[in-house]
Chains A and B, each alone.
Chain A
Amino acid sequence: MDNSMFFGIATLGYIFAMIAYITYLVSKNRYVGLVATYLTIVSFAFHTIAFLMRWYEGYIMGLRSFWRPPVSNLYESLVFFVWCLMLGYIIIEFRYKNRAFGAFVTPIAAMILAFIEMTGLSKEIEPLVPALQSNWLLAHVTMSFISYAMFGLSFATALIYLIQKTEKKTEPAYIFWTFSVGLMIVILLAMAIDYLKFHVIATSTEAMKKYLFRATFKSNSQTIVALSWFSALSIIGFVWMFGNYLKRIINTFNLSEQMLDDITYRAIAIGFPIFTLGGLIFGAIWADQAWGVYWSWDPKETWSLITWFVYAFYLHARLMRGWRGKKVAVVAVVGFVVVLFTYLGVNLLLSGLHSYV
């Protein structure tokens, strides 16, 4: 038995949990809710076991030292991100005694794990090249993902907040959230089409880079490109047209706006210092130890800095300028979009020194 089987069980478990949470959201049946919670906890336990097994396997195979948890390539870091996210969610569910929120977090987890399966991301336990054998790097990666998970949670609550609070279709905040959600659907669909068309076995980010959007926006055929843009705009338009249905479902749940705003702020208030220390400071120390430059304005570093500024913007706007409600929620959503770009976009779309994660 190896770790991937346990990961498989956890993935399936999260998908069932997602279905249960959504059913619960619609039906409000208490037992369905309990099932969702149990499914989540059991999946999380499998996830944890799988993570520990992978750690141990790398060690007994002699590829990694005992002190190297498996967080060093794209596959491992995504899995770890989901782990942090679910841990954060479970804590929130018990703290706030509210499950509605699970219907928004489990899809993120299920989507990421499905993304791993679909793109056939390499799951090999790889030995580490010399530059990566650093404790600073380890602390850097681990803490970055913990903060990303926090930002992910704040994203989910801020999005729900926006959905709840917007009334009119012409309102900027409504346009903003429907556009963001539409865009995400478009990107996920485009990636799914890439997969169906090319069956990419993306063993590396290189291969993913090569095939990204090749079946749609970057196709050789002009017709397909035009069609892709047309479909993309239609999807976004569709979400804009029918976004208020989603709002109606969510409204039946009576999530207090105060609570949503509170969780958004708290998640960022925890994520921001961790990101500063782990993401920026430890990253800089590692670069300094490995290359002799603590800051080189490479795209990944620069995007981390941009992320930092966006959240500094959030904190100052909320605390000092007294921005409340929709305005800061928009900033929180933008913040996580920037996080996603820092994490995936820089490697897929921009090139740089950090080619491994």
Chain B
Amino acid sequence: MQKEQKSLIDRIWDLFASVKLAIVLFALIALSSIIGTIIEQNAPAEKNILVLKKIVGDEAAPTVYRILESLGFMDMYRSWWFVTFLVLFSVNLIICSLDRLPRILNLVKEPIRPLDTEKKNFPIKKEIKIKKSPEELKEPLLKAVKSIGFKAENSPLEQGGYQLYAQRGNWTRFGVYITHLSILIILIGAVIGIFFGFKGFMYLQEGEVSNVAYSRDNRPHQLNFSIRCDDFDVEFYGITEMPKDYRSWLTVIKDGKEVMRKVIEVNKPLKFEGYTFYQSSYGMVPNAHGIFIFRVTGQGGKTETVLKRFGETFTIPGTEIVGKIINFSPALTLDKEGRPYTYTEMMNNPAVYIEFTEKGERKYGGWILKRFPKTWHLPDGNIVEFIDYWGVQYTGLQVRKDPGVWLVYLGCIIMTVGLYIAFFMSHRKIWVFVKKDGKQSSITVLATANKNRGAFERKIESLISKIRSFG
């Protein structure tokens, strides 16, 4: 016997066209990914040495760490060998699909042919007899087959009999290929994002304008426009400390003109010229001096909005009562003895202490809390609403530009469609033999489906009961 000699290229092609390699790669990628979830990625060395100490003991840990680090495990998903797995995976996917494509194309293009004989063993086979001649049955049968979605052709048999046959969903055999293609599209999108995208952050104090974002390693990244933070606010659930929403009021300024305004929240970012700005964090600017904003209503009903700094005074409209801001707390609460104190440096419950005088004489003083409208009402019926203490908080924005993201999304949509076709649709074929049997006709329905045969069988059963009603 002569052994067939294959060229090297053929052998490489065969390797990459095999599903065996795919299975090996699934296992390799899955197993190596596990390591990356145990070792914290891009973390300080001490942290992972601590983890390793628990696994391999105190002595070996530093050495093991060094070995793992040199193999790229500390930034594993970007290491040369992990990337190699992904590349092999993609090549496998491409070659495997190309290798099978001609065969699938044939399968899809091939028209359905009448069967030579009624095969004995067929995946789905139903028989029925009807008291009518084959000729009389032809029209109703064609209609019945059409009602379950098949446009049948007709080929004559001897003695006035005939065979109807049809197929449907031959193109669904592409479903798997669509799924595989979508994986490649997603990977291409991800690669474009890595090479041409930007990921960074930007911190803006209320009122601040900037056109520079910073990458993770703190390099500045110039934008072609500026972002201004007009305001920042945290909303809480009722009187709890549980934040309900963080909001930043942003304005985009390009060539000196305001071109866009948007209030962003977590899950509702701002998009401009390919960049996206996400609400990601916030905080207090140390030693900042902001502006208190009050809406003051005198007893007479006159309302005024006043903007004041710490230590400044204002007059309640329609009266001669003067308020002076003498204390501020970003988060005021009472201790057990009922004394006020500040429980955090964040603006969780901003409060301002205002002392009121009339013609130089002290009338009263007290804390006015932004989140508690009850405290806005003064003893004499005047109202001081505490609207905001502006200019002391900053908003932390995550900035991203990713020109590949649309490909990733496109890939996701295609994958969904592909999986739907691959799992829930099938290539179905049907043959109906009609033969003369004395005064009756004997009808045999043969059918196959490459997937979900049960569902198709139920459909065939409904066809049979329809045919039964002809007799």
A interface residues, Cβ below 8 angstroms from B: 62-63, 126-127, 129-131, 133-134, 269-270, 272-273, 276-277, 281, 284-285, 288-295, 297, 299, 302-303, 305-306, 309-310, 312-313, 316-317, 320-321, 346, 350-351
Contacts and interface: CB of A to CB of B under 8 A. Distances in A.
Given A134-B267, A303-B37, A316 B26 contact: yes
B37 A309 contact: no
A130 B423 contact: no
B27 interface: yes
Interface stretch (B55-63, B301-309, B413-421): B413-421
Contacts of A277: 416, 419
Nearest to B422: A273
B267 A289 contact: yes
B169 interface: no
Contacts of B422: 273
Given A272-B423, A317-B23, 5 more contacts: A126-B242, A290-B266, A292-B199, A302-B37, A309-B30
Contact of B243 (A130, A281, A289): A130
A296 to B, nearest CB: 9
B267 A130 contact: yes
B190 A276 contact: no
Given A290-B267, A291-B398, A276 B278 contact: no
19 contacts: A130-B244, A131-B266, A134-B267, A272-B423, A273-B422, A273-B423, A281-B415, A284-B412, A285-B412, A289-B268, A290-B266, A292-B400, A294-B408, A305-B33, A306-B34, A309-B29, A320-B19, A321-B19, A351-B40
Nearest to A273: B419
B444 interface: no
Contacts of B420: 273
Given A273-B423, A291-B398, A346-B37, A133 B266 contact: yes
B278 A290 contact: yes
Chain A CB count within 10 A is highest, among B22, B242, B266, B278, for: B266
B26 A312 contact: yes
Given A281-B415, A291-B278, A302-B37, A130 B245 contact: yes
Contacts of B37: 299, 302-303, 346, 350
Identify the 4 closest CB pairs spanning chains A and B, nearest first. A130-B266, A299-B37, A273-B419, A320-B19
A312 to B, nearest CB: 6
B367 interface: no
B405 interface: yes
A313 B23 contact: yes
A145 B315 CA distance: 60
Contacts of A290: 266-267, 278
Given A129-B243, A292-B400, A309-B26, A62 B266 contact: no
Contact of A313 (B26, B265, B266, B405): B26
B20 interface: yes
Interface of B: 19-20, 22-23, 26-27, 29-30, 33-34, 36-38, 40-41, 77, 190, 199, 237-238, 240, 242-246, 265-269, 276, 278-280, 398-400, 405, 408-409, 412, 415-416, 419-420, 422-424
Most chain A beta carbons < 10 A, residue from B399, B409, B412: B412
Contacts, number: 106
Contact of B244 (A127, A273, A288, A292): A127
A130 B233 CA distance: 13
Contacts of B40: 351
A284 to B, nearest CB: 7
Contacts of B267: 130-131, 133-134, 289-290
Contacts of B266: 130-131, 133, 290
Nearest to A309: B30
A269 B176 CA distance: 13
A291 B396 CA distance: 12
B245 to A, nearest CB: 5
A302 B268 CA distance: 25
Contact of A321 (B20, B38, B240): B20
Contacts of A284: 408, 412
B416 A127 contact: no
Contacts of A312: 26
B217 to A, nearest CB: 16
A63 B246 CA distance: 17
Nearest to A295: B190
A316 B19 contact: yes
A310 B408 CA distance: 22
Contacts of B415: 276, 281
Given A134-B267, A284-B412, A295-B190, A310 B30 contact: yes
A293 B423 CA distance: 30
Given A273-B423, A302-B33, A309-B30, A297 B41 contact: yes
Contacts of B38: 350
Contact of B400 (A62, A272, A273, A293): A293
Nearest to B234: A130
Q: Which of A130, A293, A317 has the most CB of B within 10 A?
A: A130
Contacts of B20: 321
B23 A321 contact: yes
A127 B244 CA distance: 8
A305 B77 CA distance: 13
A61 to B, nearest CB: 10
A245 to B, nearest CB: 34
Contacts of B412: 281, 284-285
Contacts of B408: 284, 294
A63 B38 CA distance: 36
A310 B244 CA distance: 38
A316 B23 contact: yes
B200 to A, nearest CB: 10
Contact of B416 (A126, A276, A291): A276
A350 B36 CA distance: 11
Contact of B77 (A126, A288, A297, A303): A297
A318 B77 CA distance: 29
A292 B398 contact: yes
A94 B54 CA distance: 50
Nearest to A313: B26
